[in-house]
Amino acid sequence: MLREVAATRYIEPLRSGGSVPGVVEADDLGTYVVKFTGSAQGRKALVAEVIVGELARALGLRFPELVLVHFDPAIADSEPHQEVRDLHAASAGVNLGMDYLPGARDFTPEIARTFPVDPLEAGRVVWLDALTVNVDRTVHSSNLMVWPTLGIAPPRLWLIDHGAALVFHHRWEGTDPSKSYDFRHHALGHYGPDVRAADAELAPRVTLDLLREVTAAVPDAWLTDFATPAEAREAYVTYLHARVRASGAWLPTDFPSRDELAAEEAQRAARTQEGRPEWLKRVPDLHGKPAAEQDWSVHLG
């Protein structure tokens, strides 16, 4: 089960993510990024965060600790923006917190050009994303962090933000556990991920017992698709276990090289410019910002 803490001080919102999470301090003296139950993404995003995050941790991937955060909107009454205050008001009670990684940096394409990632580590991440249908870890939005960055220890990749995973739980009817998805533009695709080795290593470990342990961490109040929370948990367990057994059908193996990605990006940029008026052609392409212009502020949303 996840630890429970109470937020004692509200620090700031993180506007880099669509759900506008907030950074808080808690009564255990920890600092957390809180994803709120009242966000537009809804509670299913939090369910996905818990299931995929805890599964990642159980399989040995680096993922910040999750906690349940009791949040009183009164601690954030100094927040100047009305839409953020409305979000807080709609989120009183238990929310989801992720351990804050101080000084962490986004894993951007610029960093990826020189940052070493072992093919097996890349394969493990891609395998987890393919299993949980997390198509939101791309070259343009990696949902990966590099931490630590202060020279005390070698920097490592940390996984964050799995709210868009488990797409099947948005419509349970007719879902096919063997369905394959397009992972050609995965953030780690150009590292030559050894997904076959990852499958051989990780698939046997995703047992019914492990899946039941992971889904048990989701609060009952967030499981509303079925008559009871127990039925909802068993639906996740059944689907994911069936998907593990069907890995031969969905295992992604086709990844473009760095040069192929660069060529595709150049073609995309050229298509974007076609037909634009001259004044609009001078607007910079934000996807292609050089590293010196990137915003390195930490965001886990």
* pLDDT tens-place string over residues 194-217: 999 999 999 999 999 999 999 999
List, in order, residues 6 or more apart from 232 with CB less than 8 Å away.
223, 224, 225, 226
Q: Are 146 and 113 in contact (CB under 8 A)?
A: no
Other beta carbons less than 10 A from residue 61's beta carbon: 18
Residue 24: which domain range? Answer: 3-99
Question: Would you say residue 263 lies in a domain?
Answer: no
Q: Are 73 and 92 in contact (CB under 8 A)?
A: yes
Question: What's the pTM value of the predicted model, to 2 decimals?
Answer: 0.88
Query: Which spans in 72-118 are helix H?
Result: 82-89, 109-112
Q: Which residues pair with 158 in a beta bridge?
A: 145
Number of domains in the chain: 1
Q: Token pair for residue 265?
A: 């990006």
Question: Would you say residue 20 lies in a domain?
Answer: yes
At 260 the three-state DSSP class reads helix
* pLDDT tens-place string over residues 74-102: 999 999 999 999 999 999 999 999 999 99
Give the largest Cα separation in the chain, rounded.
60
Q: In whole angstroms, what separates CA 139 from the centre of its chain?
A: 14
Find out whether the peptide bond into 290 is cis, omega within 30 degrees of 0. Answer: no
Quick one: pLDDT at residue 296?
33
Q: Token pair for residue 175?
A: 């879902």
Question: Would you say residue 274 lies in a domain?
Answer: no
Measured CA to CA, the distance from residue 300 to residue 14 in angstroms comes to 8
| pLDDT category of residue 257 using cuts at 50, 70 and 90 | confident
Q: Are 35 and 98 in contact (CB under 8 A)?
A: yes
* pLDDT tens-place string over residues 152-172: 789 999 999 999 999 999 999
Question: Would you say residue 7 lies in a domain?
Answer: yes
